[in-house]
Amino acid sequence: MTDPTPAASAAATPPAQTIPPAPAAPTAPPAAAPPAAGPAGGNPAELSARLAAVTAELTEARSAASRTSELESTTEALRRQVAEAEGALTRMTAARAAGLPDQLADRLRGGTPEEMAADAAALAALLGGTTPTGPASAAPSGTPPGRPVETLRPAASTGTPPTEDTPEAITRLLFGGK
């Protein structure tokens, strides 16, 4: 009697041949992966709108930076002009206080009003105490130096007393009547 045991049956059955697996069907390249979910939610239309908004913000920021740069350069130019005008005013004030003509104000040196006043006084002493020429030199006492003085004179006078200016008087003058 034979007892069918697994070892006995394995010996009785010839070994099975290994069959290679069937070749796999060619696969198509993977389809485009869906867009990753981002801050706009992953929808292409939303992403495109967000890109347009960010681009507009960038353009606006660049424009603002350019305008800021222009304003800074304009401000700097205006500050230089103000400094030049203040310097000219200080020189003119120092020159007039020292009795110098206005034409010599640009020749004064100094960084402060006190230095310019000292330079103006030294220049006035060097020039021998200049006095303005023309009508201002005949200024009455009490008039600051360098100030204009009115020199009015009457119109040409004939030395004859004024005449009447009635129509009869004018007729007499024109036609020689009394």
Q: The tokens 């960010």 sit on which residue?
A: 54
Task: Yes or no: say if 91 and 106 are a contact pair by the CB < 8 Å rule.
Answer: yes
Q: For the segment 39-75, what is each residue's pLDDT rounded down to a tens digit? A: 545 788 899 999 999 999 999 999 999 999 999 999 9
Residue 166's pLDDT band (boundaries 50, 70, 90)?
confident
Which DSSP symbol is given to 158? -
Q: Using alpha carbons, select from 94, 100, 85, 98 the residue that is nearest to residue 112.
A: 94
Q: How far apart are CA 16 and CA 116, in angstroms?
A: 119
Look up the pTM and report it.
Answer: 0.41
Average pLDDT over residues 12-27: 57
Q: For the segment 69-78, what is each residue's pLDDT rounded down to a tens digit? A: 999 999 999 9
pLDDT at res. 43: 87
Q: How far apart are CA 75 and CA 31, in angstroms?
A: 60
